[in-house]
Structure 1
Amino acid sequence: MNKKHATLFKILLALFALNSITLYLYFSSSHHHHDNRRDTTAEGFPAIIPHRGPHLSKPWPIIPSYLPWSLTSNVPSKSCEAYFGNGFTKSADVLPAKAAVRSGSSWFRCHYSWTLRSSICEGGKIRMDPGKIKMSRGGEKLEDVIGRTEDEEMPEFEDGAFEVEAEGRGSRSKTKKLVGEEFLNEFLPVGNVMKHTMRELVRSIVVVGETDFTCQEWVEEPTLLITRFEYANLFHTVTDWYSAYVSSRVTGLPNRPHLVFVDGHCETQLEETWKALFSSLRYAKNFSGPVCFRHAVLSPLGYETALFKGLSEDIDCQGASAHDLWQSPDDKKTARLSEFGEMIRDAFGFPVNRHHSDKTVSGHYNILFVRREDYLAHPRHRGKVESRLSNEQEVFDSLQKWASDHQECKVNLVNGLFAHMSMKEQVRAIQDASVIIGAHGAGLTHIVSATPNTVILEIISSFFRRPHFQLIAQWKGLEYHAINLDGSYANPGVVIDRLNKIMRSLGC
């Protein structure tokens, strides 16, 4: 028995010693890791990053509609995944990452989509000189810049506005462009864009030697460089949000990136969502001098997304659940817009596993009426929105009476005065709605965040017959109805009749 006890004691002692050694090695390596950590900033390119304090990046959320974004060359052109997901299958290593690992110099590459005819470009050890970008400062209060022209806010890049370091380069006297016109035409074609700022940014990049590549300020974590055009319009801003989200996923960023706006626009209400979706936000001109990025990603223009291109070309895709597509992949179906909508809801702290049944507790239905209001949108705006429904107030008042008199189930009509609501409040109203109704207008773009089984009813003036919201509903798999007007006047009785049919289909 004593011999057994002695053996047991030796085993316990050995386990204790092993545990102590393991703990020592863990904390020792942890300390070393924080002093000199390695971040994988690109496939096969681990960048040595000196310690500059704790990571400030937000983690990616766990969302039910997420599907892997693995980069393969097997994505068929014109498929739904090519339009909405990772169709960026053609890559060009301008400055190869492997050589950069060996020499400690810069790397740069672009991923091209045959379907969207645009590229996501990324690079490591990239220097930006705001002094060589001609544009207004950006980020000002709207009331301080009334009357400022759009041209003042859009960037113009001098050669050397961006720099990369290449091994073996000599003095600055022999300046060399990173890419030529042939590369720009192949990977960053102008297309139908009047001013292709991403193309002009890449055109401005020059290659310098090690002695000329100097940085006093470093941004250590992955950063998206974005230029916005119609930055105060919700539809166009959603295309920018989506492009930024896709760029982050395609480049395999481990956390949500930081943002730098390479434009001179003033503040808008929409920045609330930019800040919620991503890790931080700065304007390029707000840096005190040249700044270097360990990993910069150039996000395509919103005009180059499927959300915008679908207005002029046929994108034959239907929304489906990620679960169904995981079980049975289908090139004609997508869950990417649902994934993106869940990303927005999660960014504001709302639950993303809620379904239609959660919104109808005790037979209670929310019907959200998205209103159009006068408000000052940007420095060139007069504060008046163009009416799409001439008797909007009459329709709302009639719906309010209908809701209060509704006997079959309890109906709550929500007055969607979005211009006077925070972005978080707007998203909450969208996710809580069983039915979303409104005249054609940018505010309806919020349906990208609608939950499954939400029904959309759009009232369309004959003067604004565009498919924006029918397409978003289709690509999300939402039930969609339209009332097409002869002019801009809607008969309240017709609206109520259509709404009654929708409510009956919901079991009310």
Structure 2
Amino acid sequence: MADSSPINIRYRRPHLPTPSPNIPSKPWPVIPSYLPWTLNPNVALNSCEAYFGNGFTKIADILPAKLALRTGSSWFRCHYSQTLRTSICEGGKIMMDPTKIEMSRGGEKIEDVLGRREEDELPRFKDGAFLVEGNGGSRLKRKLVREKLLDKLIPAPVKPNSRHLIRESVSSIVVGGANDFDCQEWVEGPALLVTRVEYANLFHTVTDWYSAYVSSRVTGLPNRPHLVFVDGHCETQLDETWNALFSSLRYAKSFTGPVCFNHVIFSPLGYETPLFRGLGEEINCHGVSAHDLKQSSDIHKTARLYEFGEMIRAAFGLPVNRHHVGKEASGHNVLFIRREDYFAHPRHEGAVEQRLSNEKEVFNSLSSWASNHPKCKVNLVNGLFAHMAMKEQVRTIQDAWVIIGAHGAGLTHLVSATPNTVLLEIFSPKFKRPHFQLIAQWKGLEAHGIFLHRIHAEPQIIINRLNRIMSSLGC
């Protein structure tokens, strides 16, 4: 097996008139649930660690790093996961030419780009969008990764006419000579390249966050990487968390010309994370604490989602060792996540699909129930997330004892919940999907569901269920 240790090579900077601003990298926070991401070649196929952790056990050295150390040329390799059937690819001395990536600029205010087509925001890569220097300074440009190898490392989508944007970006890499490196900027890195598809939906964005986090850990980065969005999507509320998680954020089209990277990582699509794959595949995993996993390893248990949730909280400067124990004096927070109308992306009309027709009536009934609870102090929290800063959303999740809401993307915040948090999800007839029950399972959280025959709920049924949950919490 090829060496998979982190690589730190310093390159000469060819034709570099303007160096990139030196933005310091953020250190990794200390989080209680962290477990080492060292590569274990014996990780069992379809085990929880293979899904949620470092199951990228097959290393394809396409441009060997040892040769790059001697010659000063580029290096490139891919870490392949048989379980997720995708790769994390990384390399050094790589040039990106934004003029060979067709897409909108990205990062605009949403009101400035209303009506813009989705196909204008998704990138199309021309050959040479990325360039590496081959050994010996070859003058004849060729593809770095041939189609046959690409099929093994990043398989094409099964659905006809479907696109795989990361596969396309890796396919566009060509091998050139030293004279082909004509960079206007040099990013010392490491830099993480992320291409988003459904960038305005919290569930899909969390899958991208997780993919980016895993990519950073698998490649052994000593600090949090800088982030480059290789897409043309507009600014969204969710960018706040991207900025908190990583060292800096830029859009590929914000570079005025070719840019060189000292170390760059191509992060897999969020569709290839266990959070998405688990919706259609039976992932037999249950969440436990990192301490329990250290005491007794089990291929069907994982602490990785706890680790990830703590990473999000720590990135916002929120306490990661806070649990519910000792908080009874301030009351038991019951968080009701609401669905509001808002503009999510340029093609969105601002109205969310109704899942609970009498949401206001349910909220008012719960408010009365909380105010008159006979045994303990209950605080009903109005979760109007669409108009809250992301840090406040995460803080609200962290402080909740019970999270209740109709099936919707806001429940994805469960990844940041503390141990012993309970989920009560309301399912309408058209939305009986397993997303959040599974996230609760993978975190080891207690989860309940109320299934409606129509989109109208009887408040007393919800209150009766909440009473039983609160009794189990000692209230």
- Which of structures 1 and 2 has the bigger CA Rg? 1
Match of 2:172 in 1: 204
Other structure's SS at 2:440 match: helix
Aligned-pair CA distance for 1:459:
0.5
Deviations 1:238-274 (CA, angstroms, capped at 9, x unpaired): 0000000000000000000000000000000000000
| 2:346 is the alignment partner of 1:384 | no
Which whole-Å deviations, capped at 9, do the CAs of 1:281-305 have from their partners, x for residues lacking one?
A: 0000000100000000000000000
The residue type paired with residue 154 of structure 2 is L
**2:23 and 2:248 in contact (8 A); partners too:** no
Are 2:148 and 1:186 aligned? Answer: no
Who is 1:291 aligned against?
A: 259
- Counterpart among 376, 385, 390 of residue 418 in structure 1: 385
Q: How far off its partner does 1:360 sit?
A: 2.3
Q: 1:74 to 1:87 in 2, by over 3 A?
A: same
1:209 partner amino acid: G
Q: Is the 8 A contact 1:45 1:101 kept in 2?
A: no
Alpha-carbon distance, 1:358 to partner: 4.0
Q: Name the counterpart of 2:36.
A: 68
What TM-score does the superposition give when structure 1 sets the normalisation length? 0.90
Question: Tell me, what secondary structure is at the counterpart of 1:112?
Answer: strand
Matches within 5 A, 1:8-19: none
Aligned counterparts of 2:100 and 2:66: Cα–Cα separation in 1: 30
Indicate if the aligned counterparts of 1:49 and 1:220 stay in contact, CA closer than 8 A.
Answer: no
Give the distance between the partners of 1:214 and 1:497, measured in 2 at CA.
Answer: 68
Distance 1:116 1:492 in 2: 42
The answer on 1:82 being equivalent to 2:50 is: yes
**How do residues 271-350 of structure 1 correspond to structure 2 at under 5 angstroms?**
271-350=239-318
Query: d(CA) in 1 for partners of 2:420 and 2:473?
Result: 9
Q: Which amino acid aligns with 1:233?
A: N
The residue identity in structure 2 corresponding to 1:189 is P
- 1:55 CA displacement: 6.1
Counterpart residue type for residue 354 of structure 2 = S
Q: State the Cα RMSD in Å.
A: 1.5
User: Which has the higher relative contact order, 1 or 2, with Cα contacts under 8 A spaced 6 or more apart?
Assistant: 2
Secondary structure of the structure 1 residue equivalent to 2:132: strand
Determine the structure 2 residue equivalent to 1:221.
Answer: 189
Contact 1:359 1:432 (8 Å CA) reproduced: no
Quote the residue 2:456 is aligned against: 489
Correspondence 1:352 to 2:320: yes
Deviation per residue, 1:372-427 (Å, 9 max, x gap) = 00001000000000011111111101000111111210101000000010000100
Report Cα offsets for 1:201-254 as digits up to 9, x if no partner.
011000001222232310002010000000000000000000000000000000
- Asked if 1:370 corresponds to 2:337, the answer is yes
**Deviation string for 1:143-188 (max 9, x for gaps)?**
00000000000000001010000122332xx321101110110000
Length, aligned pairs only: 465
**Structure 1 residue 394 corresponds to structure 2 residue 361:** yes
Task: Give the C-alpha shift of residue 327 in structure 1.
Answer: 1.5
Take 1:333 and 1:44, find their aligned partners in 2: how far apart are those partners? 27
From 91, 98, 107, the counterpart of 2:59: 91
Residue 465 of structure 1 is matched in structure 2 by 432
Distance in 2 of aligned mates of 1:433 and 1:192:
41
Change (3 A) 1:382 1:100: same
From the superposition, tell whether residues 502 and 157 of structure 1 become closer, same or farther in structure 2 (CA, over 3 Å). same
| Counterpart-to-counterpart distance in 2, 1:271 and 1:52 | 22
CA distance in 2 between counterparts of 1:108 and 1:290 reads 19
Cα distance change on mapping 1:186 and 1:279 into 2, 3 Å: same
What residue number does 1:58 align with? 26
| Aligned-residue identity in percent | 70
Alpha carbons 1:359, 1:434 under 8 Å: kept? no
CA displacement, residues 95-122 of structure 1 (integer Å, 9 cap, x when unaligned): 0000000000000000000000010000
Which of the pair is proportionally richer in helix? 1
1:48 Cα deviation after fit = 2.0
